[in-house]
Amino acid sequence: MEASTLDAVRLSMGLQQMRAELASSNIARAGAPGLRAHTLDFSRLEGLLTAYGEGRASAADLQQGLAELRALSPREGSTEASALGLDAQVAEMASASMNYQTLGDALSRQFSLMRLAVTGRS
pLDDT per residue as tens digits for the range 80-108: 877 888 898 999 999 999 999 999 999 99
Whether the Cβ atoms of residue 61 and residue 52 lie closer than 8 Å to each other: yes
- The list of the chain residues with pLDDT below 50 reads none
Predicted local distance difference test score (pLDDT) of residue 55:
93
Cα 97 to chain centroid distance, Å, stands at 9
Predicted local distance difference test score (pLDDT) of residue 122:
57
Does this model's pTM top 0.95? no
Number of independent structural domains in the chain: 1
Predicted local distance difference test score (pLDDT) of residue 33:
83
Predicted local distance difference test score (pLDDT) of residue 23:
94
Predicted local distance difference test score (pLDDT) of residue 2:
78
13 sits in which H/E element: helix 3-29
Could you tell me the residue range of the domain that residue 53 belongs to? 3-119
